[in-house]
Structure formats: C-alpha cells, structure tokens
Amino acid sequence: MSQPADADNASAARRAGADPRVVVIGAGPAGLTAAYALTQRGTPTTVVEGDAVVGGISRTAERDGWRFDIGGHRFFTKVKRVERLWHEILPADQFLLRPRMSRIFYDGKLYDYPLRAGNALKQLGVVEAVRCVLSYIAARIRPPKDQTNYEGWLVARFGWRLYRTFFKTYTEKVWGFPVHEMPADWAAQRVKNLSLFSAVMNALLPKRNQKDITTLIEEFEYPKTGPGLMWETARDKVLAQGGEVIMETKVDAVHWAPGVGATGVTAHVTGGYGPGAGAPNASRTDIGAVLELPADHVISSMALASLVRTLEPAPPQHVLDAANGLRFRDFLTVALVVPESASFPDNWIYVHSPDVKLGRIQNFASWSPYMVKDGRTCLGLEYFVTVGDDMWTMPDDELIELGIKEIAHLGLVEADQVETGYVVRMPKAYPIYDNTYKQNVETIVAWMSEHVPNVHPVGRNGMHKYNNQDHSMLTALLSVENILDDARHDVWAVNVEEDYHEAGEQVD
C-alpha cells in the first residue's frame, strides 16, 4: 500500500466530510453490529473475517448435523438498545425462551446454582454446614492480612471452607493459575456485590431482587440453532444493506502515518474464499491473494494485543511490550453424543471436583432441541486450556477418550452410553486479568488515541475486556456514533456490570 498517497486521501476525505470508508476487522458480535449500524446509514463498509464462519466466540459450530455453542450463550442484557437490536436482527419465531437450570458438582454431590439455602444445607450435611459457619466466623474475626489477591478477598467474605468448596477449584481450572496470584480487582469486576450475607439472603429470599433481574436469572432467550443464527442473520442483513463481508481473510497490517492516523489495512486470503464469501455471489480468490483496503476508519475486534502488532509502521517498543504482556485463556469442548435417557435437566453443570480436568458440562438439548437429534443429546465437556499445552495439542480421539473417562468417573454417564464425540477448539476465549493487564491496556490506549485515533478497538478481546455479547455490541454501536456523528462517547467506560446477571455467578 503506497502510504503517503493513501494518507493524503484519507485525511482529505475526512476533511471534506465525505462518507467515510470503514473497514471492520472481525465478523463476531462487535464487528457485525458495527457493520450493521454503518450500512444501515449507507456508510461504505467492508468486514474482513479470518475464519470461515461468522459469530466469533458466539458462533454455532456444526459437525455431522450436531450443533455446538462455544460455552453457552445466554441472550440477556440490561442494555435496552442491544435487546432491541437482537430482535430487529432476528425474527421473533427464531428465538426460544429457555428455562435456566444449573448446578455445581462437588465431592460427588450436586448443589443448586444459584445456591439455595435448604439445598446447600442438605448437600453439605449438618456437620459440614456448622464447620462452614465456624470457618466464616473465624474469617470475620481474623480476616486474611493480604486481601489484595482474590483468595484473601474471598476468604475474608466466605471463610476458608466455603471458599474451597465453591470457588477455589473451578476458578483455578478456568484461569490456570492459583487464586492467590489473581489480583483482587478481578473480584471487584466479577462479584462486586457478593458477600456471604447477600448470598444467603439470595438463597433464602430469591424473589427479593427486581423482577427483571430475577427473570433474567431464571430464564433466558436463545436463538433456535444457537448464537450463530443471530450472527449469520446479521451478516445477511449487512450484505443486503450494501456492505461487504470478506471471509477467510486475515488482516496482517493496519497502516498508519504520523499526523494522519490509520490509512488502510492489508489482508491475505487464507481459505480459498475471497470477497463476498457467504453472499449469494460469492467468488473464489486464490489462497494467499493480498487485499489492500483503504480506510478512513478501522473498527477492530481482533485482539488488542494482535492489533498493536499489526500496526505498520510498528509503534514504539513500550507499546509493543504492553501488547506482548496481554495474555489469554483458551478453551476446548469435547462434545459427546449420548441417549436422552442418559441426560440431565440442567443447561450446564459446573464441575468443581479437583480429580477431573473438565470444568463444566453443557447439555445442548436443554439449550435448544434444534441443536441435537431425536432421542439423543450432546454433552459439551469444557476444558480451559492454553494454546500449545498438552490438552490443546492432544489428538481429538484421545481428548474424546479422556472426556468419556472423566464423565464416567463422575458417575454422570456410563462410558458405553457414548455414541460418538467431536472436539471444538476456541483460542483466546478469555482475556486474562492479571497484575499487569490494566497498565498494559492503558499504555496501548494512550498511545493509540494520540497516533491512530481513527482506529476503534471494540468488543471483548478487541478491548481486552471481559465483555459479554451485549457490551461487545454496545462498544460497536458507540464507536459507529463516534465516527458518523462525532459523538465522543468514551467507549472504554462501557462497563462489565456483573451484579445484575451473574450475581455471584461462576465465570462463563
């Protein structure tokens, strides 16, 4: 890309107030929401997606007619405009309203989740319940000295016994490092209003919350064939509104010039499908073909760390160091097909037992009957992993064998009831909040807002923020208003409000 000429063009277009050309990186919820809002207003928009399917982490994966959700994506939000948008994109008859049921598996027993006092007491047994209360009182009298880490923070509020039963193992499975090494502000983000008192009050008086909050916890909306249906429909609407969605094409460089900002992106075709893939007029382009796309604005939902590394010319070393300091937790599902009779009523079960590696089990038939086939269900055993580790690189057949062994060990399904299995891997599922992430993000944002103010990071990994779909979408909508209306929203202020939907809930 010839930088100076494009830089001139880009700045000239912005100066003249012409329709800006926007390149959107990623066709997940944030990218497609941005493209939908932009094309609705007639803005020339090109979405570039590295993968062959849309939806990002919120896709529906499909194998042999079985459908899998990466995790389990509940559609609930307090953000009214996001809720309206979901219903504007997806017709009402494509949505299901599902009852929510989830439990915690620990020490051979199933505990209702959210916790209910009667059930928890019964499962713990009187002796253990008394021990938990004594341990709580002890922690209140002599709280841990160091509460700057997540373990100290939790023990101070729950006591050691409850912490070990309901927090420690699962949290460590998810993040892959000891709870005492996690900063306490992680807790403030996730469980800010949580205390034993409020947990007990919630357990005793589950209806005392506002009606909408209670409802959100007890039931949720879900597209018939999984979250991907929302994003496949959004993609079709973007195309119908005149936008372009280029699939299997990876962005390698975001070009910028001092005093001008971003001028365009370079991408290369990875999968044999080029411009318009997914559209009726899809055309093939040679693998490896390079696309150069000039842009007045770039909306990026690719991981913030990767975005920094694609900037061309490279930003200063301290910004690159900050990007290289951002870490992720990755995710894989071992999906096992079993007869309906071997199933359970829960949407998902958290597995706290330390003797198995699996962290959670999804029951896809409970999410939607359209995800599975008659008479059978598919159980998604979830493993929290790191790209390149033993689990990530384990061959699929060995992972399926491990899954069967573990679910049989837990006594939930017998090994010979499993008909077949599939493995779905998802890199960068969770941006990690460690002791340095905040500073790293601040360093990157400070530099970018000065030098490339027309690059707009959005979404979850795009902002290295623990955003669900709703907040990922909101950051996209606000960025579009910043571009088209000069609205000057502070997109970084969009918050992850855990208190309403997860009130003390385990991580997704």
By CB under 6 A, name the binding residues for ligand FAD: 25-31, 48-51, 56-58, 70-74, 250-251, 301-302, 331, 429-430, 459-462, 467-470, 472, 508
Complex with ligand FAD: residue 107 or 389, whichever CB lies closer:
389
Complex with ligand FAD: residue 33 or 443, whichever CB lies closer:
33
Complex with ligand FAD: residue 120 or 349, whichever CB lies closer:
349
Task: Tell me the DSSP string of 252-307.
Answer: EEEEEETTTEEEEEEEEE-SSB-TTTTSTT--B--TT-EEEEE-SEEEE-S-HHHH
Q: State the minimum distance, in angstroms, from the CB of residue 231 to ligand FAD.
A: 9
Q: State the minimum distance, in angstroms, from the CB of residue 13 to ligand FAD.
A: 23
**Angle between the N-to-C axes of helices 228-240 and 80-89, in degrees from 0 to 180, rounded to the nearest 10:** 70
Q: State the minimum distance, in angstroms, from the CB of residue 333 to ligand FAD.
A: 9
Q: State the minimum distance, in angstroms, from the CB of residue 298 to ligand FAD.
A: 11
Q: Specify which residues 219 forms β-bridges with.
A: 99
Q: How far apart are the first and last CA of the chain?
A: 41
Q: State the minimum distance, in angstroms, from the CB of residue 19 to ligand FAD.
A: 23
Complex with ligand FAD: residue 48 or 399, whichever CB lies closer:
48
Count CA within 13 A, CB hemisphere, residue 380: 29
Complex with ligand FAD: residue 27 or 298, whichever CB lies closer:
27
Q: State the minimum distance, in angstroms, from the CB of residue 212 to ligand FAD.
A: 16
What does the DSSP 8-state code read for residue 41?
Answer: T
Q: State the minimum distance, in angstroms, from the CB of residue 374 to ligand FAD.
A: 26
Report how far residue 191's alpha carbon sits from residue 503's, in angstroms, rounded to the nearest whole number: 7
Amino acid code (one letter) for 507: V
Burial of 259 (0-12, 13-18, 19+ CB in 10 A): exposed
Complex with ligand FAD: residue 183 or 227, whichever CB lies closer:
227
Place of tokens 């879900």: 222
Q: Name the token pair of 103.
A: 């439990």
Complex with ligand FAD: residue 250 or 376, whichever CB lies closer:
250
Q: Name the token pair of 98.
A: 């599902």
Contacts of 475 (CB under 8 A, 6+ apart): 30, 458, 459, 462, 463, 467, 491, 494
Residues 112, 100: contact at Cβ < 8 Å?
no
- CA 187, distance to chain mean position in Å, is 18
Q: State the minimum distance, in angstroms, from the CB of residue 180 to ligand FAD.
A: 24
Q: State the minimum distance, in angstroms, from the CB of residue 309 to ligand FAD.
A: 10
Alpha helices, DSSP H, located in 41-98: 80-89
Complex with ligand FAD: residue 66 or 220, whichever CB lies closer:
220
Complex with ligand FAD: residue 60 or 472, whichever CB lies closer:
472
Q: State the minimum distance, in angstroms, from the CB of residue 77 to ligand FAD.
A: 7
Q: Specify which residues 62 forms β-bridges with.
A: 67
Q: State the minimum distance, in angstroms, from the CB of residue 49 to ligand FAD.
A: 5
Complex with ligand FAD: residue 70 or 132, whichever CB lies closer:
70
Complex with ligand FAD: residue 232 or 470, whichever CB lies closer:
470
Complex with ligand FAD: residue 147 or 214, whichever CB lies closer:
214
Report how far residue 318's alpha carbon sits from residue 326's, in angstroms, rounded to the nearest whole number: 13
Q: If DSSP states are collapsed to H, E and C, what string results for 96-144?
A: EEEECCEEEEECCEEEEECCCHHHHHHHHCHHHHHHHHHHHHHHHHCCC
Q: Three-state DSSP class for 360?
A: strand
The continuous run of DSSP H or E covering 235 comes out as helix 228-240
Q: State the minimum distance, in angstroms, from the CB of residue 462 to ligand FAD.
A: 5
| Phi-psi sector, 77: left (phi>0), alpha (psi -120 to 50), beta | beta
Complex with ligand FAD: residue 57 or 239, whichever CB lies closer:
57
Q: State the minimum distance, in angstroms, from the CB of residue 179 to ligand FAD.
A: 19
Query: Residue 197: what are its φ and ψ, rounded to 5°?
Result: -60, -50
Q: Residues of 48-85 as b/e, b for ≥16 C-beta within 10 angstroms?
A: bbbbebbbbbbbbbbeeebbbbbbbbbbbbeeeebeeb
